[in-house]
Every structure is written in C-alpha cells, then in structure tokens.
C-alpha cells in the first residue's frame, strides 16, 4: 500500500500535461520555437518557355556510293570510318571492257565523219548541175538528204563516244560528298553493277547534324492558344535557342537553332515533327543517337517562377506551395503567447499557409506558376515539412546551397504534415508519443490484487 501514494502524483502530472496539450489554441506545441524556413520572394519577369522533347540525330547529307558500271573491283583506296573529301577516289573497277567500248565508239565517229564527207561532196557537185538542168530535181534532193543524214550519224557517233568515255570514267569511283565514310560493302574481286546498281559504301556529312524531335499535337495546340490569348509571345524565327541533352545526361556545349516545324500531325502517334541543326566540329554527335532537345518556343513577359524544390503535391496530385504570411492575432491568447514569446526571446510574427498553384513549363530548375501566386509573395523553399498551415515560422533568405538532399526531386515531394495527416508543428520524425506519460503511469500502477 505504500506504493500507491507515490503513483498518484505521476497520474496527476500526466493528466495535467494532456489537458494542457488539448487546450493549446495553436498548432505549434507549447514551448516549441517557431520553425526555421528558407524562403524566396517571387517577382514577375521575362521568362522563356522551354520544352524538353525526345529526338534522334541524323546527318545533314547522306550519299550511298554505288557502282554505276559493271565490272570487277580491282582496288579499295579508303580507310573505313575515315573522313573523305568530295572527289576522293574510293574504288577502282576494271576499265578494260569499257576502254574497248570507248575505242569502238571512237572508230564509229571516224566512219560517220567519212560518210558525211562523201555525202557533202556529192551534194556540192550536184548544185551546178541542177542549175543547168543536167540532173533531175529528185536526184539533187536525194543527195542533199544523204548529206544531212550522214551529218546526223556523225552526231550520234560522237554521243556514243561521249557515253563510252563517261562509263570509262565511272570505273574510278569517287566520293560524291565530303564526310565520314562507313564500312566497305564489297571487297576486291567482287563483280558489281551486273544488272543493278551495286552499293559499295555510305558517306555521311556529320557537321552540322540534324536533330529530329517530336512534340504532341496537344501541347502545340495549348502553346498556340496561349500565344493567341496574349499570355506569352512567340520567339522570332531563327532566334529560338535550342540545346541538346546527350544520352549520358550531359548538355552538349554548342547551341543549335530550329529549322522548321512540320505542318502535318502523324496519324499513328499524334506527334508533330520539328527539326533543329547543330554544329559538330569534333564529331561528338553520332547519327542515330537518342537525345533530348530543349527548345525555347515562346517568351512570357510577366511570368512568376519558383524553385522546383518549393512545389508540393498531395495524394490527389494537386500542386501547392507553402507561403509565409503575417500571423493573425489569436483572440484571448495575445497576453499568454506574448509572455511565452518574451520568455523565448523572440516574437514570431509570421505563419505558414498553403496556396494551390497551377504550373506551366520549366526553365532550368524552376517552375513557371501560371496562377496561385502574386508579386511579393514569400514562398517557402526549405523547411516546409516542419511548417504546417497556421504554425509560426521564422523566415530567412534561401539560396540553392541550402537545398536538402531529400528535396532534390520535386516530383517525389510529399504533402506537408497537415495534408498527410501528421500533427501540425513538427516533422514526422520529431513527434513524441503524446501518451508516453499515461502509458508509463499505467505500467507502474499495481493491480488491485497487490
């Protein structure tokens, strides 16, 4: 029976602490200092509307090297994968058969010229005879026609000779464009050009390079509606900044420019094709590589932006931010809270509140806020996990160096304690069990049998 008097004061103290906690008028537990938060003051300014779109790289010029005459490949003169210049010799095809054809065509020209000489001579002899009526008009006309026919045969023979010489030149296969040549598709000794035009290699011009990327027709339609509504302004043609993000996540150092936007929507994908062009002097960009293209498509003159770390989402997917506002006076508690604040050496004059926001595009590490914020609003970027709506906070300017590791990904941010069901005023890992004292009292209380 001697233990019961010692337990009763513990039960009384526990009940008193629970009653005091229940009577607290604010979300901030009694005796806890205001949460320290890092903030930014938003101001409207000129902001580029940047979209990041998937794409593929392609060369600006592609030329397939083909055998244009039949024959046996005698020699390959290039190094596979090397840079070649327009006109460089790549292959040599056996010229002997075509050289013989050229010689035959040259002989045909000589024969045709001889026939034409004879026909002209006969026509000249008939001219005085026709004037003296020594020959008939028909005989003279036949001589003139034979002369013209012989002269036409000369032209035909010369054309055949030219074609034979062209084919003879085709036995030396040269690079049609400057660029990087791939692997050889035939080897020495191969018969090419027999019945078809045989591909021998491919040359690609990789400086500059095209980036073909797509944008959904829905996004493009929304962009154009915003342009028509005057919320944003279109970037002047040729001045839109276009940058590349490579497959390893790094940014390509040389900027490009937008060439065109297709006017047709792909029926199967609902996408619109756009094309940019990028310098590639060092050959870092490779044809066929997957990239992400960041393109400035418009400019918002009075846009409000916030760091991505400030954006929060609740379980329903709604986006919001925490802001700092002046603390309203609590009726009947001014004296009590004033004495408590004086005892702590500070007077919290600001509290945290929530604002639902509508987001636009992204610019670097910031979101464009289309609605929900006004100029001069103070947005909490760091520490909003400890600042439920209505709790006192102490704000200080935020810089990127203050970013916590758990706030690096804005899409993974959880709702603040008020939304997620945690009691206000503390982070989840800081919450002490409210019933610790009663539980301990119950554990130490003896049973009636004792």
Q: Does pLDDT of 252 surpass 50?
A: yes
Q: In this predicted structure, what is the pLDDT of residue 142?
A: 92
Task: Look at phi and psi of residue 438 and say left if phi exceeds 0, alpha if psi is from -120 to 50, else beta.
Answer: alpha
pTM across the whole model: 0.59
Q: Does pLDDT of 405 surpass 60?
A: no
Greater confidence, 441 or 378? 378
Q: Which residues lie below 8 Å from residue 363, measured CB to CB, with a gap of 6+? A: 47, 48, 49, 50, 305
Query: What CATH number did the domain enclosing 262 receive?
Result: 2.40.30.170
pLDDT digits (tens, 9 = 90+) for 173-198: 999 999 999 999 999 999 998 877 88
Q: In this predicted structure, what is the pLDDT of residue 440?
A: 37
* 438 within some domain: no
Q: Does pLDDT of 32 surpass 80?
A: no
Round to whole Å and give the CA distance between 403 and 405: 6
Q: In this predicted structure, what is the pLDDT of residue 437?
A: 38
CA dihedral 174, 179, 182, 186 (to 10 degrees): -10
What is the three-class DSSP state of 299? strand
* 27 within some domain: no
Containing structural domain, residue 211: 49-59+205-300
> What is each CA distance from 291 to 225, 250, 294, 443, in whole angstroms?
28, 10, 10, 64
Mean pLDDT for 378-398 is 90
Q: In this predicted structure, what is the pLDDT of residue 203?
A: 96
Round to whole Å and give the CA distance between 359 and 370: 6
Question: H or E segment at 419?
Answer: helix 417-420
Mean pLDDT for 200-216 is 92
Query: What CATH number did the domain enclosing 154 receive?
Result: 1.10.287.470
Name the pLDDT band for 377 (thresholds 50, 70, 90). very high
Q: Does pLDDT of 336 surpass 80?
A: no
Name the pLDDT band for 56 (thresholds 50, 70, 90). very high
Query: What CATH number did the domain enclosing 377 receive?
Result: 2.40.420.20
Q: Are 156 and 54 in contact (CB under 8 A)?
A: no
Q: Is the peptide bond before 208 cis (omega within 30 degrees of 0)?
A: yes
Asked whether residue 275 falls in the same domain as residue 310, the answer is: no
Q: Which residues lie below 8 Å from residue 360, measured CB to CB, with a gap of 6+? A: 49, 300, 303, 367, 368, 369, 370
Asked whether residue 401 falls in the same domain as residue 337, the answer is: yes
Q: Domain boundary at 262, 281, 300, which?
A: 300
Name the pLDDT band for 331 (thresholds 50, 70, 90). low
Q: Does pLDDT of 412 surpass 60?
A: no
- Strand pairing report for 179-181 and 241-245: unpaired
Query: What CATH number did the domain enclosing 176 receive?
Result: 2.40.50.100
Name the pLDDT band for 1 (thresholds 50, 70, 90). very low
Average pLDDT, the chain: 79
């Amino acid at each position: 029976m001697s233990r019961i008097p010692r337990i009763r004061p513990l039960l009384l103290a526990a009940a008193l602490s629970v009653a005091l906690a229940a009577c607290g008028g604010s979300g901030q537990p009694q005796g806890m200092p205001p949460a320290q938060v890092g903030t930014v003051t938003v101001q409207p300014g000129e902001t580029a509307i940047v979209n990041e779109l998937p794409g593929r790289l392609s060369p600006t010029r592609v030329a397939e090297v083909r055998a244009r005459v039949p024959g046996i490949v005698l020699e390959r003169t290039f190094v596979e994968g090397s840079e070649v210049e327009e006109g460089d010799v790549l292959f040599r095809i056996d010229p002997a058969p075509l050289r013989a054809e050229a010689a035959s065509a040259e002989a045909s020209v000589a024969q045709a010229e001889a026939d034409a000489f004879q026909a002209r001579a006969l026509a000249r002899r008939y001219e005085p005879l026709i004037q003296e009526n020594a020959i008939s008009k028909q005989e003279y006309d036949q001589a003139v026609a034979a002369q013209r026919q012989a002269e036409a045969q000369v032209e035909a023979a010369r054309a055949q000779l030219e074609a034979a010489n062209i084919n003879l030149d085709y036995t030396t296969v040269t690079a049609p464009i400057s660029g990087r040549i791939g692997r050889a598709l035939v080897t020495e000794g191969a018969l090419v050009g027999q019945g078809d035009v045989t591909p021998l290699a491919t040359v690609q011009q990789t400086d500059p390079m095209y980036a073909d990327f797509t944008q959904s027709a829905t996004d493009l339609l929304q962009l154009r509606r915003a342009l028509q509504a005057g919320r944003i302004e279109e970037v002047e043609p040729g001045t839109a900044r276009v940058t590349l993000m490579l497959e390893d996540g790094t940014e390509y150092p040389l900027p490009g420019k937008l060439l065109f936007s297709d006017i047709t929507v792909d029926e199967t994908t609902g996408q619109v094709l756009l094309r940019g062009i990028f310098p590639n002097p060092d050959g870092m960009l490779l044809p066929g590589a997957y990239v992400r293209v960041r393109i400035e498509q418009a400019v918002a003159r009075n846009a409000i932006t916030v760091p991505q770390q400030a954006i929060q989402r609740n379980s329903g997917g709604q986006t919001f931010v925490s802001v700092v506002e002046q603390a309203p006076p609590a009726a009947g508690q001014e004296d009590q809270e004033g004495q408590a604040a004086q005892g702590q050496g500070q007077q919290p004059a600001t509290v945290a509140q929530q604002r639902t926001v509508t987001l636009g595009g992204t610019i670097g590490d910031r979101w464009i806020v289309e609605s929900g914020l006004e100029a001069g609003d103070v947005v909490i970027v760091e520490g909003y996990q400890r600042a439920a709506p209505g709790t006192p906070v102490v704000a200080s300017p935020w810089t990127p160096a203050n970013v916590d590791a758990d706030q690096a990904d804005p899409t993974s941010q959880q709702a603040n304690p008020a939304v997620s069901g945690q009691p206000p005023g503390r982070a989840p890992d800081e919450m002490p069990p409210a019933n610790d004292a009663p539980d301990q009292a119950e554990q130490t209380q003896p049973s009636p049998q004792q």
